[in-house]
């Protein structure tokens, strides 16, 4: 595969995101030629996964030793966000010396590329640190940010894909394929072009209505109000959800 050495694309992945990364790499390889130079920060991948990912697209690995020294600067793991998620804040420190390269595109591992990425490297940054797209679901952020001083009237961008200017000094999601999503089948089509092809490993796929019913049952089990008929409540609302999903 031909490469463009001036275009640098970087991912950060641990073992939990190896499958997502495989589909992401396959979609980049399908739509972007010549390929950018792809770097992956190994935040806890198994050797088997690294070998399989290298079959999808040529990858240059950034070894764990490159970020271990940063661990003390990172928030501790939570049930939703791992330490690896914060490593995007240190991309300039993690990348090796790349003469002549002054910008890099970062992508989350659960993203798919639908057309060529090449135009991204030509986006004018005009001295700004980065370029990104405003978050569709939370265009002004979320309430959890308010205690940290976030102004909910300000625009909030999605950090899943960013164009970063390496010359500007730094100050420092549930799986898409588990629920209903417009690109779900595209995800599996890309995955079938990787060593993770096939259906054997895949988790149970449920419609959005079925997933909502499961969450509804969990919620109903927490209600302790006297006289509350959990079963009748779940059946009534579930029937309505399933009917609307047909």
* Residue 98: CB atoms within 10 Å: 14
pLDDT value of residue 122: 93
Give how many domains the chain has, as a whole number.
2
Residue 52 covered by a domain: yes
Residue 14 maps to a domain: yes
pLDDT bin (cut points 50, 70, 90) of residue 81 is low
Q: Which of 45-49, 68-72, 96-100 has the lowest mean pLDDT?
A: 68-72
Could you tell me if 245 and 207 are in contact, meaning their C-beta atoms sit under 8 angstroms apart? Answer: yes
| Same domain flag for 117 and 80 | yes
Which residues partner with 35 through β-bridges? 3
One domain, residues 226 and 148: no
16 in any annotated domain? yes
| Statement to judge: residues 116 and 214 lie in one domain | no
Q: Which pLDDT score is estimated for 174? A: 32
Q: Residue 172, SS3?
A: coil
Same domain for 156 and 220, yes or no, is no
35 and 112 both lie in a single domain: yes
| Residue 16: partners with Cβ closer than 8 Å, 6 or more residues away | 82
pLDDT score at 190: 81
C-alpha to C-alpha distance for 130 and 99, rounded to whole angstroms = 20
Dist. CA 183–CA 114, nearest whole Å? 10
Same domain, residue pair 101 and 215: no
Residue 193 β-bridge partners: none
Query: Is residue 199, in this structure, part of any structural domain at all?
Result: no
Where in the sequence is the domain holding 98, given as residue range(s)?
3-191
Q: pLDDT tens, 164-223?
A: 998 877 554 333 333 344 556 677 778 888 887 875 555 444 455 666 676 677 667 777
Integer distance in angstroms from the first to the last C-alpha of the chain? 45
Q: What is the pLDDT of residues 11-21, one digit of tens each?
A: 999 998 899 99
Percent of the chain surpassing pLDDT 90: 30
Neighbours of 54 (CB within 10 A): 14
Other C-beta atoms within 10 Å of 200: how many? 6
* Structure-model confidence comparison of residues 3 and 40, the more confident one: 40
| CATH number, domain with residue 181 | 3.90.550.10
- Which residues sit opposite 106 in a β-bridge? 10, 162
């Amino acid at each position: 595969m031909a490469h463009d050495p001036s275009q640098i694309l970087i991912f950060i992945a641990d073992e939990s995101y190896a499958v997502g990364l495989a589909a992401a790499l396959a979609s980049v390889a399908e739509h972007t030629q010549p390929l950018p130079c792809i770097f992956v920060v190994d935040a806890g991948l198994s050797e088997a996964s690294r070998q399989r990912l290298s079959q999808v697209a040529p990858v240059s690995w950034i070894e764990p030793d490159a970020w271990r020294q940063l661990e003390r600067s990172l928030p501790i793991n939570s049930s939703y966000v791992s330490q690896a998620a914060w490593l995007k804040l240190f991309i300039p420190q993690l990348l090796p010396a790349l003469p002549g390269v002054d910008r890099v595109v970062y992508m989350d591992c659960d993203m798919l590329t639908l057309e060529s990425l090449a135009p991204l490297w030509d986006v004018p940054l005009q001295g700004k640190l980065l370029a990104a797209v405003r978050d569709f679901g939370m265009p002004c952020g979320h309430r959890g940010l308010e205690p940290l001083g976030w102004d909910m009237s300000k625009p909030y961008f999605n950090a899943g894909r960013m164009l970063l200017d390496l010359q500007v000094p730094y100050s420092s999601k549930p799986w898409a394929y588990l629920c209903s999503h417009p690109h779900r089948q595209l995800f599996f089509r890309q995955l079938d072009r990787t060593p993770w092809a096939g259906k054997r490993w895949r988790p149970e796929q449920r419609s959005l209505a079925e997933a909502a019913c499961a969450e509804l049952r969990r919620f109903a089990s927490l209600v302790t109000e006297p006289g509350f008929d959990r079963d009748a409540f779940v059946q009534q609302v579930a029937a309505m959800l399933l009917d609307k999903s047909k």
